[in-house]
Amino acid sequence: MQLRVTARHFDLTDSLREHVDSRSRHLKRFFDNIIDLHWVLDVDKHRHIVDLSAKVYGTVLTGRAESADMRASVDEVTEKMQTQLKKYKSRLKERDQRAVAEGKGSQSFDTEETETSEI
């Protein structure tokens, strides 16, 4: 998983960077196949805005949170992303089960029996 953190209009502190890293590892528990996480942390007057985009196989999931505290915004957007990842994972499982039920998920080989005759 590739992790990118962008800070806009403020300097990113080490403690905030560690908090973002720990929340990213926490997201990995919900879905293993996250390709890329891109965090955009922004300060606009007294609003702390966090945008998170998670690139997974087949789609990009996005979330946005805004509050008066940056850590609270990070936690809020992480909770939103957890919900999206759970929903995406259940969709994948449902789709795979339907494919298996329809016979598309696994290949079946037709076996032909050949008769041998003795001479």
pLDDT tens for 72-105 read 999 999 999 999 999 999 999 898 887 777 876 5
Q: Token pair of 56, please?
A: 């997974």
Q: Quote the pLDDT of residue 111.
A: 45
Reference 3, options 53, 49, 50, 38; nearest CA is 38
CATH-assigned architecture of domain 2-102: 2-Layer Sandwich (3.30)
Residues 14, 38, 41, 71: is their CA dihedral positive or negative? Answer: negative
Q: Quote the pLDDT of residue 97.
A: 83
Identify whether the C-beta of residue 16 lies closer than 8 Å to the C-beta of residue 71. yes
Q: Quote the pLDDT of residue 118.
A: 62
pLDDT digits (tens, 9 = 90+) for 12-50: 999 999 999 999 999 999 999 999 999 999 999 999 999
Residue 103: Cβ-neighbour burial (10 angstroms; 0-12, 13-18, 19+) = exposed
Average pLDDT over residues 8-15: 96
Identify whether the C-beta of residue 52 lies closer than 8 Å to the C-beta of residue 78. yes
**Prediction pTM value:** 0.80
